[in-house]
Amino acid sequence: MQDFPHIYHVTATADSLENLSLTSAGLPVITSAAPKEFGGPGDKWSPETLLIAAVADCFVLTFRAIASASKLPWLTLTCAVEGCLDRQDGVPRFTAFDIVVVLEVPQDTNEGRALRLLEKAEKNCLITNSLVAPVKLQASIIINRDAESGQAS
The pTM assigned to this predicted structure is 0.90
Q: How many CB atoms lie within 10 A of CB 76?
A: 11
What pLDDT is attached to residue 150? Answer: 65
Q: In this structure, is residue 90 part of a structural domain?
A: yes
Residue 133 lies in a domain: yes
Q: Is residue 140 part of a domain?
A: yes
Nearest to 133 by CA among 105, 106, 93: 93
More confident residue, 122 or 17: 122
Is residue 90 over pLDDT 70?
yes
Question: Running DSSP on this structure, what letter comes out for residue 145?
Answer: T
Beta pairing partners, 134: none
Looking at residue 45, what DSSP letter applies?
Answer: B
**Beta bridge mates, 31:** 21
Residue 39 lies in a domain: no
Whether 118 is in a domain gets the answer yes
In a domain, 5, yes or no: no
pLDDT for 105-115, tens place per residue? Answer: 999 999 999 99
Domain CATH for 78? 3.30.300.20
> For the chain, how many structural domains are there in total?
1
% residues pLDDT > 90 (the chain): 90
Tens digits of residue pLDDT in 23-70? 999 999 999 999 999 999 999 999 999 999 999 999 999 999 999 999
The string of DSSP codes covering 56-84 is: HHHHHHHHHHHHHHTT---SEEEEEEEEE
Q: Is the pLDDT of residue 151 over 90?
A: no
| Domain, as residue range, for 113 | 46-151
Q: What is the pLDDT of residues 13-26, one digit of tens each?
A: 998 887 799 999 99
Residue 76 has pLDDT above 70, yes or no: yes
Residue 63 counted as domain residue: yes
Residue 103: exposure state from Cβ atoms within 10 A (0-12, 13-18, ≥19): buried
- In this prediction, residue 153 carries a pLDDT of 52
Q: Where are the alpha helices (DSSP H) in 70-125?
A: 111-124
Domain assignment present for residue 20? The answer is no
